[in-house]
Chain A
Amino acid sequence: MRKIILFACTVLSAGLLTTRASEPLVFSPHWMPQAQFAGFYVAQDQGFYKEAGVDVEIIHPSPTVSSVDFLERGTADVITQFLMTALTASNEGLDLVNIGQLSQHSAILFASKKSSGIETIEDFEGKKVGVWRGGFREVPMAMLMDQGVDVNWVSVLWSVNLFLEDGVDLMTMMWYNEYNQLYLSGLDRDEVNTFFVADYGFDVPEDGIYTLASTRDEREKELRAFVEASIRGWDYASENQDYTVSLIVDMMRQANIPANKAHQRWMLKRILDLQAPGEKEVRKTELHPDDYQMAVEILKEREIIERILPYEEFFQPVCSFNE
């Protein structure tokens, strides 16, 4: 099925993309280089973008400037972002649209040390729970509210050290990232209890590709080529993981970001897991209407957004899913 979709995209873009855009398409993932964005780097490194006739430039956000900022400022034409963050930005007035959903599942989990004795959600009651400062906190918070558990939230950035040092009893983590950092800090997997939000009815998809609504209309051909070549990059990454991991680690080290293959290998595998539809009836790069609905309702309930953009306005894919 995947091949057929790609084929459809290829035929479309190959025919329409006759003139080359004068300016490159600037792409920013929503974090520093890591395997979370492997497909884009692989597509660039393997020349898939060039082959698709699109000149892509990849830039990265900094701790002070997010990819949404890039989009808003016009520094980037296309970005990836967390669905919740994108919805929040949209609510705040940024006219951004999802042109392809990568992740289909939530990677968020609560982790506790087995030694803490926290075995069930009920055990969370009154415990100190580390949670991200940024926009990823909404789903886990909504989940615990839904479960009727009252906890002592402790805001953290991205470090798991507070958890390792027993400064908190639980901490929100990404399956593909912090959870594995525990392992790579010497904590065995069987020393950690995990509570995936997805298992409690909060399987909210995460990473998607966004652009401004205006850009989507103006540069549709280029964007289609970009998305198509990026998917090709992801497929290639999936089939060539050693190469991909080496490529990512090299990039990270050039960017002075601590990196090792063990962690990036784990991240790549988990990101690929999250992209797979699993039990959901969803097609590749599609944002399922139910998932969208679940996401906006969480945000609305938590009074983070006021208005709900219609699904069709928010999700405007550049590739057709006709099989």
Chain B
Amino acid sequence: MIKKNSLSFRIIKRVLTFTTLMFLLVLSLFYYFARNSIEESARENAIHIADNAVAKIEQELQPMEKIPEVVAGLMEIDPPHEDSLFLLVETILEKNQNVSGAAIAFEPNFFPDKGLYYSPYAYRDGDRIHSFSLGDENYEYFYMDWYLIPKMLDTAYWTEPYYDEGGGEMLMSTYSVPFYMRRDGERVFAGIATVDVSLDWLTETVAEIEIFETGYAFMLSRNGVAVTYPRREYIMNESLFSMAAERDSELLREIGQDMIAGNSQFREHGMNDTGRFWIYYTPLPSSGWSIGVVYPDAEMFATLRSITTLMIILVLGGLIVLTILTVQIVNRISAPLSQFSNSARLVAEGNFDVKLPKIRKTLELRELHDAFSHMQEELAEYVVNLKETTAAKEKIESELRIAREIQLAMIPHSFPPYPDLPQVDLYAVLRSAREVGGDLYDFFVVDQDKFVFAIGDVSGKGVPASLFMAVTRTLLRTIADKEQSPSKIMAALNKSLSFNNESNMFVTFFLGVMNLKTGQLSYVNAGHNPPVLISKTKETKMFEPAKTIPLGLYEEFEYPEHSMTLEPGDKLFSYTDGVTEAENVRDDLFDEDRMLKVLEENKDKSPKDLINVMMHAIEAHVQDHPQSDDITMMTVSFKGLDHGNTQNKADE
């Protein structure tokens, strides 16, 4: 089953929507234009048919019209004797086979000796031609349409069609022409000259018109009566208006009115007994009758409809095939994609040997395959490397951890260090930036009353610095065993460190020796940050900055020794540049001013508390910024010989 969000579904949906819309558009346009063109050709055809029929009928009717017109002219210009008019009408019939009857009807009592009615009339009886004078009390022709209407209108007139009196079921019409004669020098209306014309040939002409299967032609009289009509029972019985009334069709009535008004038009017929129809109508110029040609819509557009149906079926079939093909193509493309996604999942789980789908044809997929395969190989190789590197790194880290422990073990870290020496209190801290660092501090007691302490900072960081630091510390202990004065210790230490110092490493170093009995402090500063003296009575103050170079640079350098006397309660705060140069994210240094301020504000605190406060201050300044340098602080507090114990208690 195709899932709703799948590629195939979306492609098919779009492709199908688009193609269906295209087909609909094309079909609609085709149908519209084809329909218009069929309608146009039907219109032309209808006009052609109707005009042909009209021409054919007129060709017959017009010569008929000439006959009474000539008679009328004759009667006015040079009328024959009234008795010879019988011969005239008989001759008319003899010479004109299409004429069924002819009359020259006079006004009442026109010829006094002929009585009220005088109308020489000839008619056919089979092959023979008879004549008599028309009119008696039962046939008062003066009131008949064929006489009265042309008389009243003073114009020629084709009567409404009628069935002939002879009962021959012959449909007739009479063409009547009024004529005038001279009476006592005056031109007076004298009567009506007529010919009777059988309309059978006319109805045949119209009935012969065939339009498709159910189309037809018909003719209406001026009153809208069906003169010819495919339904025989309608002829002379129904008018288009009676049909409209029975069907309650306004449109049909309107068409009838337009037809008898003598208009020509091709239009939708609207209704008929069997569906939609089209009609073209045009009048007969002579009689004013109208011919209508009716086209059944269903048949007019039958071919178009079947073609359209066929096209729709083909299009539907095409759309189905298109759908199937699209599904196949998209599936062929997307199946490897889902296999690739499976492979990717397996690769992610670490299975780099997973088999990739085989791609033969699609270029893009082949590229994907190659890239995937390359990624697989690279990943595998990378992971192997990573494993090795990680192992190596872990080894180093483990060694460094051990090295750190060793290094930390090298400096004293149990406080208070000398519980049996009340004269001195001390606290120190060393926080390396890395596993191992180059800072160091140390202190020890020599000869029971000499307290040696030192703090240093090796150039560089990491393992080399830590090794140099270890060497420095070891040398310090060794040398301090033999030498008493700080300057000598420093000189010896410098000499040892400088010797074979290929790597040009050095260490800033501060070394102090305190006489625990007198408070006498001798010290040497080899390029180290000057310690701070915190005195109870005096202002917290930094030592003079060192004017000497660090140890390990120059073998023969002599380091001058300074001395001072500490009052009981004085504290000496020494540190490395990791304190003053501790940076926060904005590259602001912690700096000496901040440090001195903290020291001043906490001058009464014990060495441990003081260092903790300082550490908090540094942490507050640095915040989350990673530590870049080792931080080492050491505070030595001299308590004096006598005050040792009491001072300790007060501090707590």
Q: Taking beta carbons and an 8 Å cutoff, which residues of A are in contact with B?
A: 63-64, 128, 133, 154-157, 159, 161-162, 164-168, 183-186, 188, 253, 256, 258-263, 265
Chain A residues within 8 Å of B246, by CB: 260-262, 265
In the complex, A186 Cα to B241 Cα: how many Å?
6
Among the listed A133, A183, A260, which residue makes an inter-chain contact with B143, where contact means beta carbons less than 8 Å apart? A133
Chain B residues within 8 Å of A162, by CB: 145, 148-149, 152
Most A C-beta atoms less than 10 A away, residue of B157, B237, B243, B256: B237
- Given A157-B144, A167-B149, A185 contacting B241 (CB threshold 8 A): yes
Chain A residues within 8 Å of B222, by CB: 164
Chain B residues within 8 Å of A166, by CB: 153
| Interchain nearest-CB distance for A137 vs B (Å) | 12
| Interchain nearest-CB distance for A153 vs B (Å) | 12
- Given A133-B140, A165-B153, A263 contacting B242 (CB threshold 8 A): yes
- Chain A residue at minimum C-beta to C-beta distance from B148: A162
Chain A residues within 8 Å of B152, by CB: 128, 154, 162, 165, 167-168
In the complex, A153 Cα to B364 Cα: how many Å?
104
Asked if residues A186 and B256 are in contact (CB atoms below 8 Å), the reply is yes
Known A185-B241, A185-B260, A260-B246; further 16 A-B contacts with Cβ < 8 A: A156-B143, A156-B148, A157-B140, A159-B145, A161-B223, A162-B148, A164-B223, A165-B153, A166-B153, A168-B152, A185-B239, A186-B241, A260-B237, A260-B242, A261-B242, A261-B246
Among the listed B148, B149, B245, which residue makes an inter-chain contact with A262, where contact means beta carbons less than 8 Å apart? B245
Asked if residues A262 and B242 are in contact (CB atoms below 8 Å), the reply is yes
| Interchain nearest-CB distance for A70 vs B (Å) | 15
Asked if residues B236 and A258 are in contact (CB atoms below 8 Å), the reply is yes
Asked if residues A260 and B238 are in contact (CB atoms below 8 Å), the reply is yes
B160 interface hit (Cβ, 8 Å): yes
In the complex, A259 Cα to B260 Cα: how many Å?
20
| Interchain nearest-CB distance for A271 vs B (Å) | 17
B447 interface hit (Cβ, 8 Å): no
In the complex, A173 Cα to B238 Cα: how many Å?
21
| Interchain nearest-CB distance for A49 vs B (Å) | 29
> What 4 A-B pairs come out closest when comparing CB atoms?
A167-B152, A262-B242, A262-B245, A64-B138
- Chain A residue at minimum C-beta to C-beta distance from B165: A63
Asked if residues A183 and B163 are in contact (CB atoms below 8 Å), the reply is no
| Interchain nearest-CB distance for A298 vs B (Å) | 23
B224 interface hit (Cβ, 8 Å): yes
Q: Taking beta carbons and an 8 Å cutoff, which residues of B are in contact with A?
A: 138, 140, 142-145, 148-149, 152-153, 157, 159-160, 163, 222-225, 233, 236-243, 245-246, 253, 256-257, 260
Asked if residues A161 and B160 are in contact (CB atoms below 8 Å), the reply is yes
Among the listed A63, A164, A168, A256, which residue makes an inter-chain contact with B163, where contact means beta carbons less than 8 Å apart? A256
In the complex, A259 Cα to B143 Cα: how many Å?
23
Asked if residues A260 and B148 are in contact (CB atoms below 8 Å), the reply is no
Chain B residues within 8 Å of A128, by CB: 152
| Interchain nearest-CB distance for A130 vs B (Å) | 9
| Interchain nearest-CB distance for B529 vs A (Å) | 124
Chain B residues within 8 Å of A64, by CB: 138
Most B C-beta atoms less than 10 A away, residue of A184, A186, A256: A186
In the complex, A259 Cα to B237 Cα: how many Å?
5
- Chain B residue at minimum C-beta to C-beta distance from A185: B223
In the complex, A183 Cα to B242 Cα: how many Å?
9
Asked if residues A184 and B224 are in contact (CB atoms below 8 Å), the reply is yes
Q: List 23 A-B contacts (CB under 8 A).
A: A133-B140, A154-B148, A157-B143, A161-B145, A161-B159, A162-B148, A165-B153, A167-B152, A167-B153, A183-B241, A183-B245, A184-B223, A184-B239, A185-B260, A186-B239, A186-B253, A256-B163, A258-B225, A258-B237, A260-B237, A260-B238, A260-B246, A262-B238
Asked if residues A186 and B260 are in contact (CB atoms below 8 Å), the reply is yes
In the complex, A162 Cα to B237 Cα: how many Å?
20
| Interchain nearest-CB distance for A59 vs B (Å) | 18
Chain A residues within 8 Å of B143, by CB: 133, 155-157
Chain B residues within 8 Å of A155, by CB: 142-143
Among the listed A157, A168, A184, which residue makes an inter-chain contact with B242, where contact means beta carbons less than 8 Å apart? A184
| Interchain nearest-CB distance for A187 vs B (Å) | 9
Asked if residues A253 and B233 are in contact (CB atoms below 8 Å), the reply is yes
- Chain A residue at minimum C-beta to C-beta distance from B259: A186
- Chain B residue at minimum C-beta to C-beta distance from A263: B242
Chain A residues within 8 Å of B163, by CB: 256
Most B C-beta atoms less than 10 A away, residue of A154, A166, A263: A263
- Chain A residue at minimum C-beta to C-beta distance from B236: A258
In the complex, A133 Cα to B145 Cα: how many Å?
13
| Interchain nearest-CB distance for B109 vs A (Å) | 15
- Chain B residue at minimum C-beta to C-beta distance from A128: B152
In the complex, A154 Cα to B151 Cα: how many Å?
12
In the complex, A155 Cα to B143 Cα: how many Å?
7
In the complex, A154 Cα to B149 Cα: how many Å?
11
In the complex, A91 Cα to B614 Cα: how many Å?
157
- Chain A residue at minimum C-beta to C-beta distance from B153: A167
- Chain B residue at minimum C-beta to C-beta distance from A160: B223
- Chain B residue at minimum C-beta to C-beta distance from A133: B143
| Interchain nearest-CB distance for A44 vs B (Å) | 23
Chain A residues within 8 Å of B157, by CB: 165
| Interchain nearest-CB distance for A15 vs B (Å) | 45
Asked if residues A253 and B237 are in contact (CB atoms below 8 Å), the reply is yes
- Chain B residue at minimum C-beta to C-beta distance from A183: B241
Most B C-beta atoms less than 10 A away, residue of A154, A162, A260, A261: A260
In the complex, A166 Cα to B242 Cα: how many Å?
22
- Chain A residue at minimum C-beta to C-beta distance from B143: A157
Asked if residues B245 and A185 are in contact (CB atoms below 8 Å), the reply is no
In the complex, A128 Cα to B151 Cα: how many Å?
13
Chain A residues within 8 Å of B149, by CB: 161-162, 165, 167
In the complex, A262 Cα to B246 Cα: how many Å?
6
Chain B residues within 8 Å of A184, by CB: 223-224, 239, 241-242, 245
Asked if residues B236 and A186 are in contact (CB atoms below 8 Å), the reply is no
| Interchain nearest-CB distance for A165 vs B (Å) | 5
Chain A residues within 8 Å of B159, by CB: 161
| Interchain nearest-CB distance for A173 vs B (Å) | 15
In the complex, A46 Cα to B233 Cα: how many Å?
25
| Interchain nearest-CB distance for B517 vs A (Å) | 148
Asked if residues B160 and A260 are in contact (CB atoms below 8 Å), the reply is no
In the complex, A45 Cα to B237 Cα: how many Å?
23
- Chain A residue at minimum C-beta to C-beta distance from B239: A184
Most A C-beta atoms less than 10 A away, residue of B159, B224, B245: B245
| Interchain nearest-CB distance for A181 vs B (Å) | 8
In the complex, A133 Cα to B141 Cα: how many Å?
12
Chain A residues within 8 Å of B153, by CB: 165-167
Most B C-beta atoms less than 10 A away, residue of A128, A154, A256, A262: A262
| Interchain nearest-CB distance for B345 vs A (Å) | 85
| Interchain nearest-CB distance for A129 vs B (Å) | 12
Asked if residues A185 and B148 are in contact (CB atoms below 8 Å), the reply is no
In the complex, A133 Cα to B144 Cα: how many Å?
11
In the complex, A192 Cα to B625 Cα: how many Å?
111
Chain B residues within 8 Å of A256, by CB: 163
Chain B residues within 8 Å of A165, by CB: 149, 152-153, 157
| Interchain nearest-CB distance for B93 vs A (Å) | 25
In the complex, A162 Cα to B149 Cα: how many Å?
5
Chain B residues within 8 Å of A167, by CB: 148-149, 152-153
